[in-house]
C-alpha cells in the first residue's frame, strides 16, 4: 500500500479564508493525506473541516515556517501549499523566503495561490 501524500499548508493572514475554503472544498481528498500546517492556519482548517486531521506546528512568525522548512529538508513533505499575501508586509519575510528556497532546492511542488493549488490537486487525481 502506498504511503499517504504528505502535504503542508500555510496561509498568510489575509489568505486564511481562502485556505479554509480550499481545504473544505477538497476535504474528501485531503482526508487521505498526511496534513501538517502552521498553527493558526491549521486551527482555522480544523475548525472549518473537523474531520480533517492536521498536525499543527507553531504559527509562522513564531517558527512554524521554519518547522515546515525542516520537514522539507528531512524529506517529510511531498507538496507545499502556501497561500501568500503579496500586498501585506511580513515581519518574518526572511523565514518565508527561506521556506520557498527549501521547496525549490528539494524540488517539491509549491503552490503559492489558489489557482496553482487547484491545478496540483487535479494533477494528483483530485477532480
65 catalytic, yes or no? yes
> Which three cell numbers, joined as nine digits, stand for 12?
498568510
Closest by Cα among 106, 48, 98, 43 to 74:
106
Given the residues 65, 85, 95, 107, select the one marked as catalytic: 65
- Beta-carbon contacts of 127 under 8 Å, excluding residues fewer than 6 positions away, are none
Residue 43: phi, psi to the nearest 5? -65, -45
Coil, strand, or helix at residue 39? helix
Give me the residues paired with residue 7 across strands: 35, 79
Q: Is the CA virtual torsion 29, 35, 41, 45 positive or negative?
A: positive
Which residues participate in catalysis according to the annotation? Answer: 65
Amino acid at each position: 500500500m502506498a504511503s499517504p501524500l504528505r502535504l503542508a499548508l500555510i496561509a498568510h493572514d489575509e489568505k486564511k479564508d481562502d485556505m479554509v475554503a480550499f481545504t473544505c472544498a477538497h476535504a474528501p481528498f485531503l482526508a487521505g493525506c498526511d496534513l501538517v500546517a502552521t498553527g493558526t492556519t491549521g486551527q482555522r482548517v480544523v475548525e472549518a473541516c473537523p474531520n480533517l486531521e492536521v498536525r499543527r506546528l507553531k504559527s509562522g512568525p513564531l517558527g512554524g515556517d521554519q518547522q515546515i522548512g525542516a520537514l522539507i529538508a528531512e524529506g517529510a513533505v511531498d507538496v507545499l501549499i502556501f497561500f501568500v499575501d503579496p500586498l501585506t508586509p511580513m515581519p518574518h519575510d526572511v523565514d518565508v523566503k527561506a521556506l520557498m528556497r527549501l521547496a525549490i532546492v528539494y524540488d517539491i511542488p509549491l503552490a503559492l495561490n489558489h489557482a496553482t493549488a487547484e491545478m496540483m490537486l487535479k494533477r494528483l487525481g483530485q477532480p
